[in-house]
Chains A and B, each alone.
Chain A
């Protein structure tokens, strides 16, 4: 250890109580930031995961315009061609076909308008739909006239597995599409919005009923990892969209649920406003220690100047001192923050009011913070930043110190 760092180290322990309190404030801010950021990031990945797994997938291939218009006519006429491309792509973990049409579904005494979706057996490889079955069982493609119904819709229709439901819609050619299907299973996703409207029938049966031939509306793709999505999208755009003269389009999860990313940005920004206020309060809390380190020692600093130290040298020593204080507080904060986060990451947290919100947004009722390099990095970065800013004021003061008046002061 050089004499300078040795001096800085001793200076810290000249007033151990004060240094400990200062480190405490720094550690506290670090713990809060790491924990809260982990909580936010953990939440976002759960929400994204749930949206991707339940609804949109990572990517979809659709006919251009379908996303905006939801028009039954805007279909992918030859999905097998796209499927061949997807089969060759190593980043694809699974894909499936879906088709949608608006229809009136009626039981003996109730009717509701809803969107009927045709699903293929491939659904099992791509979405968590099969895991939300609460009664009955999942569909297979080769059994024709059967349906999966969301639990709220089923309750409204007053049907249970085994009951019959009439479907009335309009086929691709404008003709009436009417049939009767048997309820095979009830879906309970936990998301009310979803369970109020879901109605699934096998894809081949859907295509026959609505006169769609081989056509589908969505080819839903799940990538191996979230990071693969951007690259995969670009490749698919070149191969699929290019080949068909832009009749087809590739959309990623951000485009498929447009509010989601903005919702996350908004939430993150709100969080950061709070964090900034927190670190400003901490900055003022620790600024006294930093400033006192100069004012108490004016004589001593004056002496060093008189002996021929350049002001920059004093600045260096003070920076070292502040740096050590910050580093110690930060290290303690990172350690405690990680432990707290890991603990709650394993057991989850329950905040009053969160459970109902969670049902709405389709996330688990307990929140699980997720420790990551990002949350630790951003949290520590903010703390280091504010400590650096706080130390600038006294350091600036030192530059204006003159030996004679400094030594004359107590």
Chain B
């Protein structure tokens, strides 16, 4: 009965109800959609970061991060690989690498790079390199002279696929060691900085160049589930020898982690701002609705209705309105997220800008259940709270006062 009354009351003035519904709907939509966009960007930054050699977990010799040289290597790879094979969850992938700073040069140009020795077959499954080749071929495991470089580096060295490139780096005995390679492939990365930095050769070629024998600089692990990273990293830290450092992606990509936190703050601030903007309208509309009905409330009071029931009645109206607005907002949000989930939002017009901020070129919104729940919760709870004011107002009209009102 009370519900029916409230429902009819909100449709007494359909125009007004529709306007305020629009405000609630747009506010909710903006909250849902903006968080989906920002989560989408953040998710993609994490994915890109992880695919750009970082992986979920990396294992190094203790101290490698501060001093990424050939001397900082892990000497017993066979044992290490066996341990990983035994302890990683099923579906996890790992790949061994050698990594060091080097100088790449040809006859006229030279530049500082990071030399990465990879196992081409294993690497294919867990990082971006093999899928980013735009000309030439991916590394052949049997080719000790093949090298893959990024487009940006290729331009600054003024070279192309098929040309010779000399790589010079410091070996384990602190001597400069150099060897000529032939460029077999060119890759394109999300960020220019990546293209400029990394050159890839085969693992044996790198071990040979740096006189490392079987030793490795790094093992990169990708887990089937990103949520399990910290847990697995902690487990590995217990099992592996103490001179090994186990890092999760959150520690390896501090900028991405910081961006995630910043985006989270922005999302919450936006919730607050959008809600407040909407709340002004909500309170105002209910105040109007209540003031228009002063006589009616007076009559109800005269008939012996307790003020608690009147408050309840008005709050129920607000509840209906909020629920409809929230439902519409969510529906609209879901439609926009799904609509964009294939095409994404293409920001390549601002390529320079996305490069600068380290953003992905195409943004695919990602709607998290936790965000959706939070949005709905905030709007419903705070919405009911602010409509308490007009409800209280309604309950305070005395019958005499109300009847005198015209």
Contacts and interface: CB of A to CB of B under 8 A. Distances in A.
Contacts of B285: 288
Nearest to B359: A266
B274 A262 contact: no
B262 A18 contact: no
Given A278-B277, A281-B274, A263 B262 contact: no
Contacts of A262: 350-353, 356
Of the listed residues A113, A269, A274, A292, the one surrounded by the most CB atoms of chain B closer than 10 A to its CB is A113
A286 B176 CA distance: 72
B270 A274 contact: yes
Given A109-B174, A278-B274, A351-B265, A285 B353 contact: no
Contacts of A258: 352
A362 B359 CA distance: 18
A291 B288 CA distance: 12
B20 A284 contact: yes
B18 to A, nearest CB: 10
B101 interface: yes
Nearest to A23: B280
A355 B113 CA distance: 28
B281 A351 contact: no
B43 interface: no
A284 B281 contact: yes
Interface residues on A, range: 35 or more
Interface residues of B, number: 68
Interface stretch (B75-83, B102-110, B233-241, B311-319): B102-110
B30 interface: yes
Nearest to B104: A113
A260 B353 CA distance: 7
Contacts of B260: 353
Main secondary structure, interface of A, reads helix
A352 B262 contact: yes
Interface in A93-118: 102, 104, 106, 109-115
Contacts of B385: none
A295 B288 CA distance: 12
A406 interface: no
Contact of A281 (B30, B66, B68, B168): B30
A25 B281 CA distance: 8
Contacts of A69: 156, 158
A343 to B, nearest CB: 17
Of the listed residues B19, B20, B108, B170, the one surrounded by the most CB atoms of chain A closer than 10 A to its CB is B19
A17 interface: yes
B354 interface: yes
A351 B109 CA distance: 43
Interface stretch (B51-59, B86-94, B137-145, B251-259): B251-259
B112 A24 contact: no
Contact of A292 (B16, B66, B176, B254): B16
A259 B405 CA distance: 65
Contact of A21 (B156, B284, B350): B284
Main secondary structure, interface of B, reads helix
Interface string B161-190: 000000011100010100000000000000
Given A102-B110, A113-B112, A356-B258, A25 B34 contact: no
A259 B274 contact: no
Given A156-B67, A286-B281, A265 B353 contact: yes
Contact of A259 (B22, B259, B283, B356): B356
A352 B273 CA distance: 18
Contacts of B130: none
A112 B264 contact: no
B277 A281 contact: yes
Contacts of A289: 284
Contacts of B68: 156
Contact of A288 (B19, B257, B258): B19
A396 to B, nearest CB: 14
A289 B255 CA distance: 46
Nearest to A47: B356
B50 interface: no
A281 B352 contact: no
B262 A277 contact: no
A269 B350 CA distance: 10
A137 B111 CA distance: 29
17 contacts: A21-B287, A24-B280, A25-B284, A28-B280, A29-B277, A102-B112, A110-B69, A111-B101, A113-B102, A261-B352, A266-B357, A277-B26, A281-B27, A281-B281, A288-B19, A353-B261, A356-B258
Lowest 9 A-B CB distances belong to which pairs? Answer: A285-B281, A353-B261, A113-B112, A353-B262, A356-B258, A266-B353, A262-B352, A263-B356, A284-B23
Interface of A: 15, 17-18, 21-22, 24-25, 28-29, 32, 69-71, 102, 104, 106, 109-115, 155-156, 158, 170, 197, 258-267, 269, 274, 277-278, 280-282, 284-289, 291-292, 295, 351-357, 360
Given A262-B356, A264-B353, 17 more contacts: A25-B284, A28-B280, A102-B103, A104-B168, A109-B174, A111-B176, A114-B112, A197-B112, A260-B352, A265-B353, A266-B357, A284-B26, A288-B20, A353-B261, A354-B258, A355-B258, A357-B262
